Amino acid sequence: MWVLKNFKSLSVFSVVLKSLNLGKSNLTYDIISSMNLVIPKELFWDYREPPDDLLWRLQRVADFFPAYGTDKETVQLLFENRGKLKLEEGKYNLIGLYKEVWDEKSVKGNR
């Protein structure tokens, strides 16, 4: 993606998106989310670099879940997008369980 490679920070990138009237659209969210979702090299053996597509990255992580992708942010993204991913029922439910655990930890941490 030309846009991402030519901006050094997300704040500059956000200003450009606002000037293009994209604001906080799904496109913005997907681009920023896919930038933040780091894919271990072991998961993109068939590519030189992983694609910038958020759903591709999430599917690849989901294919190897829970060996990869159990951090809070990745679980949140997997949970939000699990209806769009090709998942076995057990893995679909497992992502939900991981989300519940992270939510409980967050609540306990805020007390």
The CA distance from 94 to 64, in Å, is 12
Output the six-digit token pair for 109: 């941490």
* CA neighbor of 68 nearest in space, from 89, 95, 92, 93: 95
CA atoms within 13 A on the CB side of 92: 9
Which amino acid makes up residue 110? N
Tell me the mean pLDDT per 10 residues along the chain, length 111.
40 42 48 68 90 94 96 96 97 98 90 63
- CA 70, distance to chain mean position in Å, is 12
pTM of the model: 0.68
Question: What is the C-alpha separation between 76 and 82, in angstroms, rounded?
Answer: 10
Q: Are 95 and 68 in contact (CB under 8 A)?
A: no
By percentage, how much of the chain surpasses pLDDT 70?
68
